Amino acid sequence: MKDIKILAIETSCDETAASVVQNGNKVLSNVVISQIESHKRFGGVVPEVASRHHVELITIVIEEAMQEANLKPEDLDAVAVTYGPGLIGALLVGLNAAKAYAFAHDLPLIPVHHIAGHIYANQLERKLQFPLVALIVSGGHTELIKMNEHLDFTVLGETRDDAVGEAYDKVARVLGLPYPGGPEIDRLAKEGEDTYKFPRAYLDKDSYDFSFSGLKSAVINTLHNERQKNNPINEKDVSRSFQESVIDVLTEKTLDAIISEDVKDLIVAGGVAANSGLRGRFETLSEKHGFNLYIPALKYCTDNAAMIGAVAYELYLKKHFADLDLNGQNYIDI
């Protein structure tokens, strides 16, 4: 069969990204421009600022991705794009660029769900084996998903309020740490102890849903109270205590899902998958309970377009194409 080359575009949050992927697993180019520096001074991603940057950068990343892959538009078989979930203004920039490219070069347009992309990032390194459970943890998402075969997604659980990464970033902000706060808290936590014993939200028994806003408020209230009383704050212990609470809940629920769904493969992805404490705990659990743990390389864990190209190949094989009136959506419906 002829090689299928897909140009993929991703603009759901604050990374402007384009990539060319061959047959869903060979990355011919992977261009990502992060806007983190622009959002740093606001302490988080500002949607309107993100959209404006995407507008400035989108044609640049597409051209770079095509140059790096050494291809012309006529060498492509399709254009894929993230249609959601994400910041709606940001999504629309990628969508319109993809539609224009597809229309101009008479290529099919493939709509890709962002969370599917995070799961399929693994496919860039190894073939997915089914059934599997995937835990997607990032600044915008906390999702526990089961897959029985390609493109078959069942959401087992998700956050009812804040995403994990969002909780990390907000706690970090109150601790006076720079954005994004996840890596900073991870660093401090290594030298701290779980002395504060913050709450763990397991919600109803048997539920795979998550909740992190109570934990976030508990940490922030503790910090405010201690400051009011002029008590010293041990930032390392606060970081460690917060992180232990997050890890306990994420790993226990995921392990429950692996056992009750009788699954052998676990995929962890999204920016928070970079967390050293979370990785360490999952590694220990995988040895103890005999499941396989797959965490893609960091460049494929955080937002990128190659992961969108990986899903797009499977959709291409099924001829799952969109019309040019494809719209963005900012809710999760995988």
Binding site for Zn ion (CB under 5 A): 138, 303
Integer Cα distance of 262 and 258 in angstroms: 6
Element (H, E) at 49: helix 47-68
Site residues for ligand KG4, 89-118, by CB under 6 A, read: none
Shortest Cβ 242–Zn ion spacing (Å):
22
Cis preceding-peptide flag for 111 (omega within 30 of 0): no
Is 239 annotated as belonging to a binding site? no
Integer Cα distance of 70 and 231 in angstroms: 60
Of 157 and 271, CB closest to ligand KG4: 271
Integer Cα distance of 44 and 14 in angstroms: 10
Tokens linked to 11: 């603009």
Is 136 annotated as belonging to a binding site? yes
Give 136-186 as a DSSP string: EESSS-EEEEEESSTT-EEEEEEBSS--HHHHHHHHHHHTTPPSSHHHHHH
Pick from ligand KG4, Zn ion, none: which does 182 bind, CB < 5 to 8 A by kind? ligand KG4
Of 13 and 20, CB closest to ligand KG4: 13
Count of beta carbons in the 10 Å neighbourhood of residue 126: 10
> SS3 of 106, please?
coil
Site string for ligand KG4, 2-31 (x = CB under 6 A): -----------x------------------
User: Binding of ligand KG4 at residue 186 (CB under 6 A)?
Assistant: yes
Give 263-320 as a DSSP string: --EEEEESGGGG-HHHHHHHHHHHHHHT-EEE---HHHHSS-SHHHHHHHHHHHHTT-
Of these, 168, 294, 313, 316, which contacts ligand KG4 (CB under 6 A)?
168
User: Binding of ligand KG4 at residue 138 (CB under 6 A)?
Assistant: yes
Q: How many CA atoms lie within 13 A of 155 on its CB side?
A: 14
Shortest Cβ 230–ligand KG4 spacing (Å):
29
Pick from Zn ion, ligand KG4, none: which does 169 bind, CB < 5 to 8 A by kind? ligand KG4
Pick from ligand KG4, Zn ion, none: which does 165 bind, CB < 5 to 8 A by kind? ligand KG4
> SS3 of 71, please?
coil
Is 31 annotated as belonging to a binding site? no
Site residues for ligand KG4, 249-288, by CB under 6 A, read: 270-272, 274-275
Of 29 and 302, CB closest to ligand KG4: 302
Is 152 annotated as belonging to a binding site? no
Q: Which listed range, 69-77, 177-185, 205-213, 319-327, lies at the site for ligand KG4 (CB under 6 A)?
A: 177-185
CA torsion sign for 188, 193, 195, 196 is positive
Nearest to 98 by CA among 235, 3, 214, 6: 6
Of 189 and 266, CB closest to ligand KG4: 189
Of 157 and 182, CB closest to ligand KG4: 182
Widest CA span in the chain: 71
User: How many residues bind ligand KG4, per CB under 6 A?
Assistant: 19
Shortest Cβ 119–ligand KG4 spacing (Å):
13
Of 10 and 314, CB closest to ligand KG4: 10
Integer Cα distance of 260 and 255 in angstroms: 9
Give every CB contact of residue 240 below 8 A, 6+ residues apart in sequence.
188, 189, 190, 191, 192, 193, 194, 195
Of 8 and 13, CB closest to ligand KG4: 13
Chain residues that interact with ligand KG4, rule: CB under 6 A: 13, 138-140, 165, 168-169, 180-183, 186, 270-272, 274-275, 302-303
Annotated binding-site residues for Fe cation read 114, 118, 303
Annotated binding-site residues for substrate read 136-140, 169, 182, 186, 275
